[in-house]
A and B are shown apart, each in its own frame.
Chain A
Amino acid sequence: AQKVTQAQTEISVVEKEDVTLDCVYETRDTTYYLFWYKQPPSGELVFLIRRNSFDEQNEISGRYSWNFQKSTSSFNFTITASQVVDSAVYFCALSEEYGNKLVFGAGTILRVKS
Protein backbone atom coordinates (compact mmCIF):
# COMPACT_ATOMS: atom_id res chain seq x y z
CA ALA A 1 0.00 0.00 0.00
CA GLN A 2 1.08 3.52 -0.66
CA LYS A 3 1.74 5.90 2.19
CA VAL A 4 3.01 9.45 2.58
CA THR A 5 4.42 10.76 5.85
CA GLN A 6 4.92 14.40 6.67
CA ALA A 7 6.39 14.23 10.13
CA GLN A 8 6.41 17.98 10.72
CA THR A 9 2.94 18.98 11.88
CA GLU A 10 3.73 22.67 12.18
CA ILE A 11 6.74 24.88 11.50
CA SER A 12 7.18 28.51 12.46
CA VAL A 13 9.88 30.69 10.97
CA VAL A 14 10.69 34.35 10.77
CA GLU A 15 10.50 36.05 7.41
CA LYS A 16 13.60 35.60 5.23
CA GLU A 17 14.57 32.35 6.88
CA ASP A 18 14.94 29.24 4.74
CA VAL A 19 12.64 26.36 5.61
CA THR A 20 12.51 22.73 4.50
CA LEU A 21 9.36 20.62 4.58
CA ASP A 22 9.97 16.90 4.76
CA CYS A 23 8.10 14.20 2.85
CA VAL A 24 8.77 10.48 3.08
CA TYR A 25 6.81 8.00 1.00
CA GLU A 26 6.25 4.27 0.75
CA THR A 27 5.30 2.37 -2.39
CA ARG A 28 5.99 -0.97 -4.03
CA ASP A 29 5.61 0.48 -7.51
CA THR A 30 8.69 1.04 -9.62
CA THR A 31 7.02 3.90 -11.45
CA TYR A 32 5.19 6.48 -9.45
CA TYR A 33 4.65 10.22 -9.19
CA LEU A 34 5.11 12.68 -6.37
CA PHE A 35 3.36 16.00 -5.93
CA TRP A 36 3.40 19.03 -3.68
CA TYR A 37 0.33 21.17 -3.14
CA LYS A 38 -0.11 24.41 -1.20
CA GLN A 39 -3.33 25.18 0.69
CA PRO A 40 -3.57 28.86 1.64
CA PRO A 41 -6.14 30.02 4.22
CA SER A 42 -8.75 30.32 1.46
CA GLY A 43 -8.83 26.50 1.33
CA GLU A 44 -8.21 25.77 -2.33
CA LEU A 45 -5.28 23.46 -3.06
CA VAL A 46 -2.73 24.88 -5.47
CA PHE A 47 -0.55 22.52 -7.50
CA LEU A 48 3.18 23.24 -7.11
CA ILE A 49 5.13 20.39 -8.68
CA ARG A 50 4.97 16.87 -10.08
CA ARG A 51 7.97 14.56 -10.22
CA ASN A 52 8.17 11.05 -11.68
CA SER A 53 10.21 8.29 -10.11
CA PHE A 54 12.73 8.16 -12.96
CA ASP A 55 13.72 11.77 -12.66
CA GLU A 56 15.84 12.39 -9.60
CA GLN A 57 17.13 15.71 -10.78
CA ASN A 58 16.45 18.45 -8.26
CA GLU A 59 14.25 21.28 -9.39
CA ILE A 60 14.28 24.96 -8.61
CA SER A 61 11.50 27.41 -9.30
CA GLY A 62 12.18 30.87 -7.95
CA ARG A 63 12.39 30.59 -4.16
CA TYR A 64 11.11 27.01 -4.24
CA SER A 65 13.28 23.95 -4.65
CA TRP A 66 12.65 20.24 -4.38
CA ASN A 67 15.07 17.45 -3.46
CA PHE A 68 14.04 13.96 -4.59
CA GLN A 69 16.08 11.05 -3.26
CA LYS A 70 14.90 7.55 -4.12
CA SER A 71 17.50 6.00 -1.82
CA THR A 72 15.75 7.48 1.20
CA SER A 73 12.24 7.64 -0.34
CA SER A 74 12.09 11.34 0.30
CA PHE A 75 10.83 14.33 -1.65
CA ASN A 76 11.62 17.39 0.41
CA PHE A 77 10.55 20.95 -0.34
CA THR A 78 12.63 24.00 0.53
CA ILE A 79 11.48 27.61 0.53
CA THR A 80 14.35 30.08 0.44
CA ALA A 81 13.98 33.51 2.01
CA SER A 82 10.47 32.77 3.24
CA GLN A 83 7.75 35.40 3.08
CA VAL A 84 4.54 35.91 5.03
CA VAL A 85 2.56 34.93 1.91
CA ASP A 86 4.15 31.48 2.12
CA SER A 87 2.09 30.79 5.23
CA ALA A 88 -0.14 27.86 4.34
CA VAL A 89 -0.59 24.14 4.72
CA TYR A 90 1.63 22.14 2.38
CA PHE A 91 0.74 18.66 1.26
CA CYS A 92 2.92 16.01 -0.31
CA ALA A 93 1.11 13.36 -2.37
CA LEU A 94 1.88 10.15 -4.25
CA SER A 95 0.21 8.38 -7.16
CA GLU A 96 0.84 5.14 -9.00
CA GLU A 97 1.82 5.18 -12.66
CA TYR A 98 -1.57 4.87 -14.29
CA GLY A 99 -3.70 5.62 -11.32
CA ASN A 100 -5.77 8.68 -10.82
CA LYS A 101 -5.85 8.39 -7.07
CA LEU A 102 -3.62 10.61 -4.99
CA VAL A 103 -2.49 9.52 -1.54
CA PHE A 104 -1.87 12.59 0.60
CA GLY A 105 0.29 13.15 3.61
CA ALA A 106 -1.26 14.79 6.67
CA GLY A 107 0.19 18.16 5.69
CA THR A 108 2.60 20.60 7.33
CA ILE A 109 1.37 23.95 8.59
CA LEU A 110 3.93 26.65 7.80
CA ARG A 111 3.70 29.94 9.66
CA VAL A 112 5.97 32.74 8.51
CA LYS A 113 6.11 35.67 10.89
CA SER A 114 7.16 39.16 9.92
Chain B
Amino acid sequence: DGGITQSPKYLFRKEGQNVTLSCEQNLNHDAMYWYRQDPGQGLRLIYYSQIVNDFQKGDIAEGYSVSREKKESFPLTVTSAQKNPTAFYLCASSPLRPTSGRTNAYEQYFGPGTRLTVT
Protein backbone atom coordinates (compact mmCIF):
# COMPACT_ATOMS: atom_id res chain seq x y z
CA ASP B 1 0.00 0.00 0.00
CA GLY B 2 1.21 3.51 -0.78
CA GLY B 3 1.74 5.85 2.10
CA ILE B 4 4.02 7.64 4.48
CA THR B 5 5.77 5.93 7.34
CA GLN B 6 7.32 7.57 10.34
CA SER B 7 9.30 5.75 12.93
CA PRO B 8 9.30 5.34 15.78
CA LYS B 9 5.85 6.27 17.06
CA TYR B 10 7.26 7.34 20.44
CA LEU B 11 10.80 8.55 21.09
CA PHE B 12 12.45 9.50 24.33
CA ARG B 13 15.75 11.36 24.63
CA LYS B 14 17.79 13.11 27.24
CA GLU B 15 18.38 16.83 26.97
CA GLY B 16 21.49 17.71 25.01
CA GLN B 17 21.29 14.76 22.61
CA ASN B 18 20.57 15.06 18.92
CA VAL B 19 17.82 12.79 17.62
CA THR B 20 16.79 11.91 14.08
CA LEU B 21 13.19 11.24 13.09
CA SER B 22 12.56 9.06 10.07
CA CYS B 23 10.10 9.76 7.26
CA GLU B 24 9.69 7.57 4.19
CA GLN B 25 7.10 7.78 1.41
CA ASN B 26 6.33 5.50 -1.52
CA LEU B 27 3.79 7.78 -3.17
CA ASN B 28 6.36 9.05 -5.69
CA HIS B 29 5.75 12.58 -4.44
CA ASP B 30 8.36 15.23 -5.18
CA ALA B 31 7.67 17.45 -2.18
CA MET B 32 8.05 16.54 1.48
CA TYR B 33 7.46 18.51 4.66
CA TRP B 34 8.04 18.44 8.38
CA TYR B 35 5.59 19.98 10.84
CA ARG B 36 5.62 20.38 14.56
CA GLN B 37 2.38 20.20 16.55
CA ASP B 38 2.01 21.61 20.04
CA PRO B 39 -1.23 21.57 22.03
CA GLY B 40 -3.57 24.36 20.98
CA GLN B 41 -1.22 25.72 18.31
CA GLY B 42 -2.03 23.77 15.19
CA LEU B 43 0.78 22.69 12.90
CA ARG B 44 3.84 24.77 12.18
CA LEU B 45 6.17 24.17 9.25
CA ILE B 46 9.77 23.32 10.09
CA TYR B 47 11.35 22.46 6.72
CA TYR B 48 10.20 21.44 3.28
CA SER B 49 11.81 20.03 0.18
CA GLN B 50 10.62 20.09 -3.41
CA ILE B 51 13.44 18.11 -4.97
CA VAL B 52 16.28 15.83 -4.00
CA ASN B 53 19.29 17.61 -2.49
CA ASP B 54 17.34 20.82 -1.95
CA PHE B 55 15.25 22.07 0.97
CA GLN B 56 13.97 25.31 2.46
CA LYS B 57 13.39 26.57 5.96
CA GLY B 58 9.85 26.87 7.19
CA ASP B 59 8.56 29.10 9.94
CA ILE B 60 10.37 27.44 12.85
CA ALA B 61 13.59 25.92 11.44
CA GLU B 62 15.92 26.98 14.26
CA GLY B 63 17.34 23.98 16.09
CA TYR B 64 16.43 21.54 13.33
CA SER B 65 18.21 20.13 10.30
CA VAL B 66 17.12 17.96 7.38
CA SER B 67 18.53 16.13 4.39
CA ARG B 68 17.00 14.92 1.14
CA GLU B 69 19.39 12.46 -0.43
CA LYS B 70 16.62 10.29 -1.86
CA LYS B 71 13.19 11.17 -3.18
CA GLU B 72 11.55 8.75 -0.79
CA SER B 73 13.25 9.90 2.40
CA PHE B 74 13.30 13.16 4.37
CA PRO B 75 14.80 12.65 7.84
CA LEU B 76 14.59 15.39 10.46
CA THR B 77 17.27 15.90 13.09
CA VAL B 78 16.28 17.67 16.27
CA THR B 79 19.50 19.15 17.57
CA SER B 80 20.48 20.09 21.10
CA ALA B 81 20.04 23.71 20.04
CA GLN B 82 16.27 23.29 19.88
CA LYS B 83 15.08 24.80 23.15
CA ASN B 84 11.72 23.06 23.44
CA PRO B 85 11.97 19.83 21.43
CA THR B 86 9.18 17.92 23.15
CA ALA B 87 6.33 17.84 20.62
CA PHE B 88 4.45 15.76 18.08
CA TYR B 89 6.21 15.74 14.71
CA LEU B 90 4.35 15.11 11.48
CA CYS B 91 5.83 14.40 8.09
CA ALA B 92 3.87 15.01 4.89
CA SER B 93 4.34 14.72 1.15
CA SER B 94 2.60 16.07 -1.91
CA PRO B 95 2.88 16.09 -5.68
CA LEU B 96 4.79 19.04 -7.00
CA ARG B 97 2.02 19.59 -9.48
CA PRO B 98 -1.69 19.19 -8.74
CA THR B 99 -3.19 15.81 -9.30
CA SER B 100 -6.51 16.86 -10.77
CA GLY B 101 -8.43 19.60 -12.49
CA ARG B 102 -7.20 23.10 -13.08
CA THR B 103 -6.15 23.66 -9.54
CA ASN B 104 -2.68 24.76 -8.60
CA ALA B 105 -3.02 23.62 -5.04
CA TYR B 106 -1.16 20.85 -3.36
CA GLU B 107 -2.88 18.22 -1.29
CA GLN B 108 -0.55 17.05 1.40
CA TYR B 109 -0.65 13.51 2.73
CA PHE B 110 0.47 12.94 6.29
CA GLY B 111 2.28 10.20 8.13
CA PRO B 112 1.20 8.87 11.54
CA GLY B 113 3.59 11.14 13.43
CA THR B 114 6.35 10.71 16.02
CA ARG B 115 5.85 11.90 19.58
CA LEU B 116 9.21 13.08 20.90
CA THR B 117 9.78 13.57 24.62
CA VAL B 118 13.00 15.14 25.83
CA THR B 119 13.77 15.16 29.54
Contact = CB atoms under 8 A, between A and B. Distances in A.
A7 interface: no
Contacts of B45: 101-102
Contact of A104 (B42, B96, B104, B106): B42
Interface stretch (B18-26, B63-71, B79-87, B107-115): B107-115
B61 to A, nearest CB: 13
Contacts of B111: 44
Contacts, number: 63
Contacts of B106: 95, 99-100
Interface stretch (A45-53, A59-67, A71-79): A45-53
A42 B112 contact: yes
A105 B106 CA distance: 17
Contacts of A56: none
A97 interface: yes
A35 B113 CA distance: 20
Nearest to B110: A45
Interface residues of A, number: 26
B103 A52 contact: yes
A50 B113 contact: no
Given A100-B50, A101-B45, A9 B105 contact: no
A9 B103 contact: no
Interface string B41-80: 1111100101000000010000000000000000000000
B42 A100 contact: no
Contacts of B42: 4, 91, 104-107
B90 interface: yes
Interface of A: 4, 9, 31, 33, 35, 37, 42-47, 50, 52, 91, 95, 97-102, 104-107
Closest 9 CB pairs of A and B: A33-B105, A45-B110, A104-B42, A43-B113, A104-B43, A106-B42, A44-B112, A100-B106, A97-B104
Given A31-B104, A43-B112, 8 more contacts: A37-B110, A42-B112, A43-B115, A47-B107, A91-B43, A98-B104, A99-B106, A104-B44
Interface of B: 31, 33, 40-45, 48, 50, 58, 88, 90, 92, 94, 96, 103-113, 115
